[in-house]
Structure 1
Amino acid sequence: MESAEEPLLLLQEEEINKRDLFVREVKKVSYIAVPMVAVSVTQYMLRAVSMMMLGHLDELALSSSAIATSLTNVTGFSLIFGLSCALETLCGQAYGAGHYQKVGIYTYGSVIWLFVACVPVCLLWIYTDKLLILIGQDPLISVEAGKFAIWLIPALFPYAILQSLVRYLQTQSLIMPMLWGSLASLCFHLPLCWAFVFKLNLGNAGAALSISISYWLNVIILGIYVKYSSTCSKTRASFSKDVFLTMGEFFRFAIPSAVMVCLEWWTFEIIVLFGGLLPNPQLETSILSIWYANFDIISRHQFEMFLAVSNSIIYLNLRASLTITSLHYLIQYAFGAAASTRVSNELGAGKPKAAQLVVSAVLALSIVEFVIASIALFFCRSILGYSFSNEKGVVNYVKEMTPFLCASVIMDSLQAVLSGVARGCGWQHIGAYVNLGAYYLVGIPLSLFLGFVLGLNGEGLWSGLIAGATVQSILLIIITRRTNWEKKAAEARWRIFDGKVPLHDELI
């Protein structure tokens, strides 16, 4: 009798252990993701505030800064952001393996190589006005956009340092310093931007300059923390020749990381640029840029102004929908950052099963969140439009678009989390192919067909992007399920320990 019960007891005990491990992992992921949401929102608001203030000047100021932001995102910020994502693999896995000095060495190297990448970007930004005119943008908008881009050059270098420091802290699960740094920078940025734009009458130049100064402040705050905090003592490496030896390893992950990120970012910015070819370019470019470039928080006054001069109400209705999706995406990006950190740490520690558990925990949290968000949006569909306008046409259209909006929330959520898993595993090169196929073989062609051939304009451009995100999510799910976790853990430890680790003894 006892022998028959023993297997059952062992099975129950194993299930309890699995449940406890899962709950423990959910807590670890939440510890990273929750404050990371606040970090994402505050950094998002820093640039959005500048757009809001410029919108109170005139339509030209808003549209020119919006188109300049689109081009600088395409040619600069997306590149730097993507290159820095290599640290999510390198630093995350090195920290998990207990090779702490390498975390600091990789970060030093990242700052140097990102600075080198900034130089040709700056040269390109100097000719922004000529480039915009060359691709068919409105000359008046292009000239003002060129001025904005030139004044934004000083923001590129602190942005490179900031992204390196963010990855350095993130891979060690040190999120709170980033939160306090971002909050301090935003609080400083609000009066600074207001003073530059309105009191000193600097206009676009003042908005761009205030962004640069605020980035530098954030860098200084994080730099002081890294220098003097005891929590960074293990990973605080001294500058040596080893920093320069990281170049090959860094770019091995940085280039596919940049391609993966840029292909996705560029898709949205390309659509913004095509929006400049639609009727009434100042209006269309402002609205599409506000949607797609994540600068979609504008005042009620601005929204009513757009509504008054627009020949097509559909753009304003879609703007309302995409404001919601952009804000929601910040939550899921935080889950993706948590997934990247925990997966890279566990693979570096030689624990492939633990890495798999991380994926399950993050996806479970993500699914719960986007289900709640989708249900809330659906049941609030009748009143959602009043957040943007009292116009009945806007309110009714937002109500009609809500089911489509809920589907968009789901697809964006899945791809954000699974992209984080890709960065943690180090298969960014596969993610680059996924993004290429999803957006450039499906999303953009479909957007152009619906927007220009079928004459659906802004709604058509947006619909194609949603289709691309759906294909992207499906492909990432398939690849994640087929990942050989034991092999990824072995590769991580072999690389971190320079091929000196006996893999069969190290994998747990």
Structure 2
Amino acid sequence: MFVGHLGQLSLAGAAMAATFASIVGFSFLIGMGSALDTLCGQAYGAKQYHMLSVHMQRSMIVLLLMSIPLAFILAFTCNILAAMGQDREISKEAGIYARWMIPGLFAFALLQSFTRFMQAQSIVIPLMASSGVTTLCHLILCWFLVFKSGLGSKGAALATSISYWINVVLLALYIKISTACKETWTGLSMEALQDLGHFLRIGIPSTVMACLETWSFDMIVILSGLLPNPKLETSVLSISLDIYALAYMIPSGLSGAIR
């Protein structure tokens, strides 16, 4: 929304970068993190409360390690998009934007672990409150970094990364000090380094499923960059998909009740 006021090229570059980041980064973390839905749900149902802490730490380790090669790919967004035949100006703009998103990738990895750890215990009000505070901070950060700091579209990417870290800090503090997580958060454990294969056996199929679902929409934006007027086409399509995403979030959020 903020980047759209900077012009077609800025919006097209930001849309292309966000889409590419979703394809090669965030979708993998969402899929792998969904293994916690199964593991934490089983542990909580069996009243093995200490295992929720172990599973969460195991997820944090796997997702953070995954983020390293994914961040490396994001760093070369410009080159990859150009090799795919995308417009040079859009590729350059997307490459700059994507690099400012890299810090947020690691925060997103932690966020997936914290969120699913809390959802398994039906601790949803703090999640909602944390998201609300983060969204408010994000709006302020976007306004300042995009329009006032001189960063332009890069400011939106930086604001996104900072917002993810704000959410991570808020949830980490809640898990640490709240009595609601007293039984399930037992502190750092070496047990989290064991049986990573079991986590991967559940997480990999979930990752494939999540990626295919996400890519079916994301590829539309990538393909729009190959049309005759890529700046206009990509900008318009990104706005349309953002509106669709707003409608999608309502049933998607409600579906979380069955996890």
TM-score (norm 2): 0.97
User: Residue 331 of structure 1 is aligned with which of 237, 250, 255?
Assistant: 250
Partner Cα separation in structure 2 for residue 97 and residue 184 of structure 1:
33
User: Are 1:220 and 2:139 counterparts?
Assistant: no
State whether residues 6 and 153 of structure 2, in contact with CA within 8 Å, keep that contact through their aligned partners in structure 1. no
Unpaired segments of 5 or more residues in structure 1? Answer: 1-51, 297-322, 342-508
Deviations 1:460-484 (A, max 9, x none): xxxxxxxxxxxxxxxxxxxxxxxxx
Question: Can you list the C-alpha shifts for 1:125-154, whole angstroms capped at 9, x where unaligned?
Answer: 111001111111100010010000011101
Please show how residues 60-459 of structure 1 align to structure 2 within 5 Å. 60-292=9-241, 296=242, 323=243, 325-339=244-258, 341=259
Note if contact 1:84-1:164 (Cα within 8 Å) is conserved in structure 2: yes
- 1:235 and 1:164 map into 2 onto residues whose CA distance is 14
Q: Considering only CA atoms, is the larger Rg found in Structure 1 or Structure 2?
A: 1
Matches of 1:189 and 1:197 in 2, distance apart?
A: 11
Give the share of equivalent positions with the same residue, in percent: 44
Q: Please state how far the C-alpha of 1:240 moved relative to its aligned partner.
A: 2.0
Contact 1:148 1:208 in 2 (8 A): yes
In 2, distance between residues paired with 1:193 and 1:335? 28
* Post-superposition offset of 1:279: 2.4
Separation of aligned partners in 2, 1:291 and 1:72: 18
Query: In 1, Cα distance between the equivalents of 2:70 and 2:105?
Result: 9
1:326 Cα deviation from its structure 2 partner: 2.9
Q: Deviations along 1:16-67, whole A, 9 cap, x unmatched?
A: xxxxxxxxxxxxxxxxxxxxxxxxxxxxxxxxxxxx1110111111010000
Distance in 2 separating the partners of 1:191 and 1:69: 20
- Once the two structures are TM-superposed, the CA of residue 208 in structure 1 deviates from its matched residue by 0.7
Cα deviation digits, residues 400-434 of structure 1 (max 9, x gap) = xxxxxxxxxxxxxxxxxxxxxxxxxxxxxxxxxxx
Unmatched runs of 5 consecutive residues or more in structure 2 = none
Instruction: Classify the secondary structure of the residue corresponding to 2:2.
Output: helix
Between 144-153 and 190-199, the greater mean CA deviation after superposition: 190-199
Give the CA deviation at 1:189: 1.4
Q: Give how far 1:237 is off.
A: 2.1
String of CA shifts for 1:340-397, please: whole Å, max 9, x gaps.
x2xxxxxxxxxxxxxxxxxxxxxxxxxxxxxxxxxxxxxxxxxxxxxxxxxxxxxxxx
CA separation in 2, counterparts of 1:291 and 1:110? 34
1:114 Cα deviation after fit: 0.4
Q: In 2, are the aligned partners of 1:147 and 1:204 still within 8 Å (CA)?
A: no
Runs in 1 of length 4+ with deviation above 6 angstroms? Answer: none
How many residues align? The count is: 259
Cα separation, 1, equivalents of 2:84 and 2:33: 29
- Contact 1:129–1:145 under 8 Å retained in 2: yes
Change (3 A) 1:246 1:336: farther
Contact 1:106 1:246 in 2 (8 A): no
Q: Give the AA of the match of 1:186.
A: T
